[in-house]
Structures are given as C-alpha cells and as structure tokens.
Amino acid sequence: MKLYQHIFICIILLIGTGLYAQNGKYALVIHGGAGNIRPENLQAEVATSYEAKLKEVLRLGDSILCAGGTSFDAVEACIRMMEDCPLFNAGKGAVFNAEGKNEMDASVMDGKTGLAGAVAGVTTIKNPISAARSVMEKSQHVMLSGKGAEIFAASQGLEIVAQDYFFTRERWNDYLKARQKADSLELIDKKHGTVGCVALDKYGNLAAGTSTGGMTMKKYGRIGDSPIIGAGTYADNNTCAVSATGHGEFFIRNVVAYDISALMKYKGLSLLDATNEVIMKKLKSQGGNGGVIAVDKNGNIAMTFNTAGMFRGYVKAGGEMKVALFSDN
C-alpha cells in the first residue's frame, strides 16, 4: 500500500471513530421545582400525575435527541411542554404575585456558542422560554423585560394570550392562603414548581433552560434567579449545563449555576462534587433552599437538592429513564 493510501485510510478511520464517539452519547435532565415535597404533602394521584407528565416530557426530549436533534431544541421543546401543563409553576399554572398577577421569567443558554437569552416579568407570552430563545437569536440583547419583551415576542410571531390564560384555581388558592400569612415564604417552601431542562446532544453540545412564575406573593416587579444567566441557568460545552430551582434570592447572590461550572473549570471538580459543594454545603449553610439539575460534557448527570424533594427525571441514550419526586427514591 502506498503511503498516501495509508494516510487516507487512517484519516477515514479517525473521522469514523470521532463521529461514533460523538453520536453514541446523549442525556437530558428535567426538573419541575424543588421544595417541601414529601409523600404526606402530595396526594397519591397528584404524585402520579407529576410522574406521568415528567415521563412524557422525557420521552419528547429523548425522541428529539435520538433523532439527532440539538440539545438546544430539546431543551426548548421540553420546557414548552411543561409550561403548557398547569401542574408546574411556569406558563399556565404560574404562581401569583402580591398583586394577584402572573409575572413570568425564563432563560436559555447554548453551551456551544456561549450565547444566551432571557425574558423577565412577562405577563402575556404563552411560552416565555421561546421568547427567551428569540431574544438570543433575533435581538442584540441578552435580556428583555416587561412590556418591551412582550412587544418583541409579538413581533417575532410568538403566541400572545390574555392574562387569565395563566390562571389556575390551585395557584390562586395558594395565593389567598399566602396573603393571610405574615411570612409567606413558609408556603413558598412547599410549592416551587419552576421548570428546567439541561441536555447533551450527540454532537457534544450542551444547553440549559429555566422557566418560572417566580415565588407566590413576590413583590410586583421582583425578578428571580431563573432568567439570570449564571444564577438560574448556565451552559458551557467545556464544563456543564445547569438549571436551578429554589429560593431565587440565594441563587442570585451565590451565582449558583456559574459557580458549579467554575468549580469544574478552575478546580477540576466532578459534576457531582461541584453541585454538592454549592447546593449541599454553601447554599444550605445560608438557609438557601433549592436544587439544580446538571449534565456534563461526558453525559454524567446530577440532580442535587437540599429540600425534601424535587420533581425530576432523566433520560440517556439507550432509553435509560427515571423520574423521582422525593429525596429517598
């Protein structure tokens, strides 16, 4: 065999091996909020509805990634499905603020390009996660808020709905109860419900997204961690993709999602060690309740929370799938 033929075969083999390595692996993780989620706080049939919905979302994510879709597309699609489901505190089913209104926040980040988009305090966009994506892809900005975000979303052809679309009796009752309490945070700890998704696709690209109605009884105009890149959402192909849920003020002050990525990047921590360090040690010592889902560039996943439970699940290439609600399963 001539030298050039030898080199040609080597190149083909190298490309083939590279493609195979990238094509084999994908993983997707979702959360539907963390909080005081215990078997005694959740009726069995309600728990079953959460499990069924989480599985449906994972099946959707799996079908996208398995067919060669991107992690970014999978994250958006999975979050949209949860936004459309009244079980979660995002899109339809969002909690009410102190004025009895739904104000929603969402963000996405693409680990390949480092680009990100977010919307905050929006009240009429049916799927805030898609608005966040549009901000990233179609504007020169990272975050748009309130009216401006809504005008922009409408200009991009996104669905705009009347504010009462987001109303659910369950969240309204939570609001009425919270109004009676001096410290409404007590109730908030029982009911998070923010949604998030992180994914690694067959091409080795990571993406993260988070969407929320925020916290019941929040002040008008309050913005949580979910739309803040680095706090509630972060993705970097060199480290990991993270989506957070919990008491947002703590997540903002501790730049939680970025901190996890930074621990991996600068200190060489594993994904699990990094999420434990931030959620179980740092945040917990401050009384910051909540958790994160994360996936790293090798497809390792973490679902770490310091609350009694977190609605969560994952799916990996080959069909391995699991959903869980409480801390002990």
Question: Of all helices (H) and strands (E), which one includes residue 296?
Answer: strand 290-296
| Amino acid at position 279, single letter | I
Using the rule CB under 6 A, is 246 a contact of ligand ASP?
Answer: yes
Token pair of 324, please? 């869980």
Cα separation, 200 vs 241, in Å, equals 8
Stretch that binds ligand ASP, among 179-187, 245-253, 264-272, 311-319 (CB under 6 A): 245-253
Cα separation, 48 vs 323, in Å, equals 11
Q: Could you tell me whether strands 27-35 and 240-246 are parallel, antiparallel, or unpaired per DSSP bridges?
A: unpaired
Catalytic residues: 194
CB closer to ligand ASP out of 31 and 133: 31
- Is residue 240 within 8 A of residue 264, CB to CB? The reply is yes
Q: CB of residue 166 vs ligand ASP: minimum separation in angstroms?
A: 15
47 burial (CB, 10 Å; 0-12 / 13-18 / 19+) is middle
CB closer to ligand ASP out of 90 and 240: 90
Stretch that binds ligand ASP, among 158-166, 209-217, 233-241, 263-271 (CB under 6 A): 209-217
CA 188 to chain centre: 19
| Per-position DSSP letters for 214-242, written without gaps between them | --TTPPTT---STTSBTTTEEE-TTSEEE
Using the rule CB under 6 A, is 288 a contact of ligand ASP?
Answer: no
Q: Single out the residue of 192, 202, 297, 316 in contact with ligand ASP (rule: CB under 6 A).
A: 192
Q: CB of residue 288 vs ligand ASP: minimum separation in angstroms?
A: 10
CB closer to ligand ASP out of 94 and 315: 94
Q: CB 287: neighbour CB atoms within 10 A?
A: 9
CB closer to ligand ASP out of 97 and 134: 97
Stretch that binds ligand ASP, among 7-15, 20-28, 186-194, 315-323 (CB under 6 A): 186-194
CB closer to ligand ASP out of 130 and 216: 216
Q: CB of residue 292 vs ligand ASP: minimum separation in angstroms?
A: 10
Using the rule CB under 6 A, is 83 a contact of ligand ASP?
Answer: no
Applying the rule CB under 6 A, the residues between 214 and 243 that interact with ligand ASP are: 214-215, 224-226
Q: CB of residue 281 vs ligand ASP: minimum separation in angstroms?
A: 19
> Rounded to the nearest 5°, which phi and psi values hold at 115?
-85, 155
Alpha helices (runs of H) in the chain, residue ranges in sequence order: 3-24, 44-66, 71-83, 128-138, 146-155, 169-180, 185-190, 248-253, 256-267, 271-275, 284-286
Question: How many residues lie near ligand ASP (CB under 6 A)?
Answer: 14
| Amino acid at position 132, single letter | A
Q: CB of residue 7 vs ligand ASP: minimum separation in angstroms?
A: 54
Applying the rule CB under 6 A, the residues between 146 and 165 that interact with ligand ASP are: none
> Which residues contact residue 69 at a Cβ distance below 8 angstroms, ignoring those fewer than 6 apart?
201
CB closer to ligand ASP out of 27 and 244: 244
Using the rule CB under 6 A, is 33 a contact of ligand ASP?
Answer: yes
Which residues here bind ligand ASP, judged by CB under 6 A?
33, 89, 192-194, 212, 214-215, 224-226, 245-246, 248
